[in-house]
Chain A
């Protein structure tokens, strides 16, 4: 995808503290990109700089080749939905959605047509004449979304728009946002600290940490091939084991505890092997599943220290001989006969990802 929005070596400091440091991203037209990271990692600050509400300390933002920085925020043609409810309290839902069109002096007919489209898009036709304080939080955010999209902006920015809503409403609105992205083709930049939300919505995710972007990739790559220990730990649960890679003629990873697992195509060296909780099958050592041979993908042995039933999965905590702990997720019916204290073999189902 060719770059449409280029963020080029952008930094922002507030006095002594640096909120965003040297971030560069290339975003394609129509992409749904999420900024994911813990609170305070600089996601909102970057979004505000793109919107023009904050001025970068250094660096540049370009849209279709032209710098956005000299353009005033009200002329950038960007829509934004904030975490807090920002509807104008003394205007009705319809007047709020029409506000940006009024500011742009659209003619009445066009305003009216677009207003109806927008009310239909967020399914709030019968609430058109209500004031914002007569709406629920979820409805207010849907109006805010309609207002931000009403004037057909080139880009839609969303700063944790669903953070204040409860779980089931969140899922509904996530689906709605996806649908709106598909039907309008808008480029969306979405900020969240919720990894599941990021996975659900995004074409690509930029993972933020201390003001820098640790990795910018598709949800699949972020999960399966994280670029750093931070990304591995922030997105999903990670089991990291120290590992040593042998030369390419003998592709295998030696894990602490003496086990090894075949891993073709690796550069020799030391590193950390990442296993996700679903990368194992747990087998009782005493059931004599001798079908396992070292020639296969390998096993790790350990002792169960805890078992937690979560409904669709059971989480099993296993302590290895080396003292390392591994969290495994299994279907409940596979674990009925397991108890804490049991000796188990963890059969490795997938090649581990070796963190660079």
Chain B
């Protein structure tokens, strides 16, 4: 290639420098918040005058934070399962090319991804008000599943498109009904896509804030909502702890997803 990195001479050090700067710029807030969660200063002074774990103790001692963490985990898991089950159904229908209007269905399912989140949030809010779903577990789960659905559909359609349907046909001729063939052959073959879809759907719910703010109430709030409301009242290092928790969990899941996709190739 003409623009081969090794043939760029001095220019390549400029590129390396730009790369490092961008990476630093992206990572700096993350490093900052993690360091602050261990800092001893009540006022979030940087660099911290000393190191401590007392904000972590405070986080786990506070039932409010703990409840929010639990709510986030439960909502994320349930939303991920729903988004993947429905996403799998839609992907099966669309990837076989027999469905009329498959293209329109695909576009419809991708809508939540392109729609401005606030617009979607207002819509879901007014709908949830009518249905009495505000401030309920089901309300959170359904609204998060809607936002996660486009991502699970994309991942699962890709997975099914790279799966040879003759494998499923062969299993059917071996005597398996269509659904048994899917269970025994298709789903195990695309299991990496399914796991990746679960992880991404969970992550989308895990850091969803706009719709969650509309949904939340005294009964139920997820971790990002709790972070947001706490932040508006008082700036405590516990917020840095909560942020670090959100971050750590996201990183771990992303890492798992990355390992799975690499192994899938």
Q: Which A residues form the contact surface with B (CB < 8 A)?
A: 51-53, 72-76, 78-80, 82, 84, 86, 88-90, 99-100, 103-104, 144, 147-148, 151
Take A82-B166, A86-B166 as given contacts and tell me if A72 and B173 are in contact as well, using a CB distance cutoff of 8 Å. Answer: no
What A residues does B169 contact at CB under 8 A?
51, 53, 80, 82, 86
User: A103 near B173 (CB under 8 angstroms)?
Assistant: no
Q: Which of A72, A88, A104 contacts B171 (CB 8 A)?
A: A88
A103 CA to B176 CA in the complex, in Å? 6
Please give the distance in Å from B108's CB to the nearest CB on chain A.
24
What B residues does A99 contact at CB under 8 A?
171, 174, 176, 184
Take A88-B185, A89-B189 as given contacts and tell me if A74 and B173 are in contact as well, using a CB distance cutoff of 8 Å. Answer: yes
Please give the distance in Å from A10's CB to the nearest CB on chain B.
19
* Interface status of B12 (Cβ within 8 A of chain A): no
| A/B interface sample: 29 pairs, CB < 8 A | A51-B173, A52-B173, A53-B169, A74-B172, A74-B173, A74-B175, A74-B177, A74-B181, A75-B175, A78-B173, A82-B169, A82-B170, A86-B164, A86-B169, A86-B170, A88-B171, A88-B185, A88-B188, A88-B189, A90-B188, A99-B171, A103-B174, A103-B175, A103-B180, A104-B175, A147-B174, A148-B173, A151-B174, A151-B175
What A residues does B184 contact at CB under 8 A?
88, 99
Within 8 A of A (CB), among B115-134: none
A147 CA to B188 CA in the complex, in Å? 19
User: B173 near A79 (CB under 8 angstroms)?
Assistant: yes
* Interface status of B167 (Cβ within 8 A of chain A): yes
Take A89-B189, A90-B189 as given contacts and tell me if A84 and B177 are in contact as well, using a CB distance cutoff of 8 Å. Answer: no
A84 CA to B165 CA in the complex, in Å? 10
Cβ-closest chain A residue relative to B189: A89
A103 CA to B181 CA in the complex, in Å? 10
- The residue in A51, A80, A86, A100 that gathers the most chain B C-beta atoms within 10 A of its C-beta is A86
Cβ-closest chain B residue relative to A88: B185
A104 CA to B181 CA in the complex, in Å? 13
A79 CA to B174 CA in the complex, in Å? 7
- Shortest 6 CB-CB distances between A and B: which pairs? A100-B174, A86-B170, A103-B175, A80-B173, A103-B176, A82-B166
Q: Which of A53, A88, A144 contacts B172 (CB 8 A)?
A: A53
User: B174 near A72 (CB under 8 angstroms)?
Assistant: no
Please give the distance in Å from B176's CB to the nearest CB on chain A.
5
> 17 additional contacts, CB 8 Å, given A74-B177, A74-B181, A80-B173?
A51-B173, A73-B173, A74-B178, A75-B175, A79-B173, A80-B170, A82-B169, A84-B166, A86-B169, A88-B171, A88-B184, A88-B189, A90-B188, A99-B176, A99-B184, A100-B174, A103-B175
Please give the distance in Å from A14's CB to the nearest CB on chain B.
11
Please give the distance in Å from B168's CB to the nearest CB on chain A.
9
As a 0/1 sequence over residues 179 to 209 of chain B, the CB contacts with chain A under 8 angstroms (1 = contact) are 0110011001100000000000000000000
A72 CA to B178 CA in the complex, in Å? 10
Please give the distance in Å from B184's CB to the nearest CB on chain A.
7
A287 CA to B188 CA in the complex, in Å? 75
A104 CA to B188 CA in the complex, in Å? 21
A74 CA to B180 CA in the complex, in Å? 10
A100 CA to B177 CA in the complex, in Å? 11
A82 CA to B166 CA in the complex, in Å? 8
User: B167 near A86 (CB under 8 angstroms)?
Assistant: yes
What B residues does A88 contact at CB under 8 A?
167, 171, 184-185, 188-189
Please give the distance in Å from B235's CB to the nearest CB on chain A.
52
- The residue in A74, A100, A148 that gathers the most chain B C-beta atoms within 10 A of its C-beta is A74
A75 CA to B173 CA in the complex, in Å? 8
A148 CA to B171 CA in the complex, in Å? 10
Cβ-closest chain A residue relative to B175: A103
A103 CA to B174 CA in the complex, in Å? 7
Cβ-closest chain A residue relative to B173: A80
What A residues does B166 contact at CB under 8 A?
82, 84, 86
Please give the distance in Å from A66's CB to the nearest CB on chain B.
19
What A residues does B172 contact at CB under 8 A?
53, 73-74
Please give the distance in Å from A199's CB to the nearest CB on chain B.
27
Cβ-closest chain B residue relative to A97: B174
- The residue in B166, B177, B181 that gathers the most chain A C-beta atoms within 10 A of its C-beta is B166
What A residues does B171 contact at CB under 8 A?
88, 99
A175 CA to B188 CA in the complex, in Å? 35
Within 8 A of A (CB), among B210-264: none
User: A100 near B175 (CB under 8 angstroms)?
Assistant: yes
A144 CA to B169 CA in the complex, in Å? 13
- The residue in A51, A73, A104 that gathers the most chain B C-beta atoms within 10 A of its C-beta is A73
A146 CA to B263 CA in the complex, in Å? 31
Q: Which of A53, A72, A76, A144 contacts B177 (CB 8 A)?
A: A72
What B residues does A79 contact at CB under 8 A?
173
A53 CA to B181 CA in the complex, in Å? 14
A52 CA to B178 CA in the complex, in Å? 12
